[in-house]
Amino acid sequence: MAWTLIIFCKLFILCTLQYMRTITAQEVSPLHVKIKNGTVKPAYISITWDCNITEEMKNYKYCATIKEKDAALEQPIDINNCSAEFFIGNFGVALNLHEGVSVKIKANNDEAENIKWTTFYPEGENQTSAENVGCSLYHDSVVNCSWDFGKKAPKDTIYSLRLYQSNTWEECQDYKTDLAARQMHCSFKVLKIQYKQRAYLVVEGSSNTTPILFYDQWINLCENEILMPPRNIHINASTHGVEIKWEKPEKQTHHPDHCFKYEITLKEEKMQDKTYNVDMKLHFTVHEFTSNQQFQLKVRAKRDFGCSDTKWSKWSETSKFVPSAGPLTHTHLFILLAIGTVIAVTALIYVCHRFQVLKKVFPPVPAPVIKLQSLDQDELKELQENLPTSASEKLPDNEEDIKICEIDNC
């Protein structure tokens, strides 16, 4: 029972405090502004409210707060006008309006808890606005923009793009279409606005069947700058390696060397591509070549290291070269000597066999010849009697007749 009373007392105190805060807020902000209507268009927001103004209200100053998911701004208003229009291009806050904004009005710039936000959305069907919108700066002057069609945009939708900066609207005139004849790209050949300053981009669409939602975005063109590729690439192939030299991209000579980084790619049919990163230099030497086949070389550049960083440039035109053979090492000499020895020995053996050189250099020794032709019968008989007995003992059991043939011309 005691715990129940304690909880009840706490709830009573909290309700009393909340009521006192509400009364205080009403005393500080005597105008409870009821916003009647709001309109959101590219770069513009307009609101209207009930114009029931009392003498007490005229003693206060009022401001309108406008916010979206990433930014908010406050602007003073005259409540006697019962309406206000805001052009976001005149403010330092980068508001994007295509996803809707929330608005509230308060007095004396004091936050009042009982004031609620009122949210307004632009006209147009969801998912009909341009998507993946982006712009890139080339040559410090040419701006190329592209986008994709909204997922639910009708086929007859036509998009148009414009940029705003310093009280100047610049509309794109040079459009390109895709295979379906839809405008997907736009180029500013001569850019009048300052690319180093922030600009407000709007892509609007039109269709005969469906209201198209606009797309807006604040962009810094210098952050989307794409450089020209490096120029005057020279390749010097020697036995010590391949030395590569180049110059900074066009219209970038005013930036010091330490602002740039480069990427070199080498390609050969029988090997995997190799990539080398080079920082703050205009030359590079490659030593580790294992092939004397033709190589293809390309270089690209980007600004980095806090020098208004850019994206990678396009690749330079392909340069082709064949690396020079490197100096002979002890391994190379040993291999060459072994191959030469094998070839020489093989050739010598072939020559000796072909021309019978060994027989001519080392002729066979003739066996002794006994001239028996001039001996008579008595002498032959005497010679046979004088043969050693050991020779006769060694004759085989199956004795055979031994014939002594006369050899003519011995």
* pLDDT, tens digit, 9 for 90 and up, residues 171-214: 998 999 887 778 889 999 877 888 888 999 999 999 999 999 99
* Domain assignment present for 290: yes
Q: Report yes or no on whether pTM surpasses 0.75.
A: no
Give domain status of residue 126, yes or no. Answer: no
Could you tell me which of 285, 245, 137 has the C-alpha nearest to residue 199? 137
Report pLDDT for 121: 95
Q: Which residues pair with 83 in a beta bridge?
A: 48
Report which of residues 46 and 4 the model is more confident about: 46
- Rounded to an integer, the average pLDDT of 122-144 is 91
Provide CB contacts within 8 A for 274, sequence distance 6+: 265, 266
Full domain range(s) for residue 164: 131-225
For residues 248-274, average pLDDT: 88
Dist. CA 204–CA 126, nearest whole Å: 14
Cα–Cα distance for residue pair 368/219, rounded to 1 Å: 116
Structure tokens at 242: 């391949």
In a domain, 72, yes or no: yes
CB of 171 within 8 A of CB of 97? no
| Domain count of the fold of the chain | 3
pLDDT at residue 83 greater than cutoff 80: yes
Does 231 share its domain with 307? yes
Q: Does 49 share its domain with 96? A: yes
**Residue 64 pLDDT exceeds 50:** yes
Q: Highest mean pLDDT range out of 66-75, 207-216, 261-270? A: 207-216
Please report where in the chains the tokens 């192939």 appear, as a residue: 237
Least confident segment among 18-22, 272-276, 381-385: 18-22
95: left (phi over 0), alpha (psi -120 to 50) or beta: beta
Q: Of the residues 272, 298, 321, which one is the last residue of a structural domain?
A: 321
pLDDT band, residue 133 (cuts 50/70/90): very high
Residue 100 lies in a domain: yes
Say if residue 236 is in the same domain as residue 190.
no
- Where residue 310 sits, what CATH number does that domain have? 2.60.40.10
Among 225, 254, 285, the domain-final residue is: 225
CB 166 within 8 A of CB 176: no
Contact at 8 Å (CB) between 38 and 103?
Answer: yes
Comparing 203-207, 333-337, 357-361, 401-405, the range with the smallest average pLDDT is 401-405
Q: Of 2-11, 181-190, 252-261, 397-406, where does mean pLDDT reach its minimum? A: 397-406
Residue 39 lies in a domain: yes
35-39, 181-185, 214-218: which range is least confident on average?
181-185
Same-domain status, 71 and 42: yes
Q: If we measure between CA atoms, which residue out of 128, 135, 127, 129 comes closest to residue 185?
A: 135
Report if residue 241 sits inside a domain: yes
| Closest alpha carbon to 116 in 65, 164, 156 | 65
Task: Give the pLDDT score at 407.
Answer: 47
Domain boundary among 209, 225, 241: 225
Instruction: Specify whether 265 is located in the same domain as 197.
Output: no
Q: Are 218 and 166 in contact (CB under 8 A)?
A: no
Q: Are residues 65 and 112 in the same domain?
A: yes
State yes or no: pLDDT of 282 exceeds 90. yes
* CA pair distance 241, 220, nearest whole angstrom: 43
Q: Are 115 and 196 in a shared domain? A: no
In a domain, 7, yes or no: no
**At residue 393, does pLDDT exceed 70?**
no
Lowest mean pLDDT among 145-149, 165-169, 363-367: 363-367
User: Looking at the domain assignment, is residue 115 inside a domain?
Assistant: yes
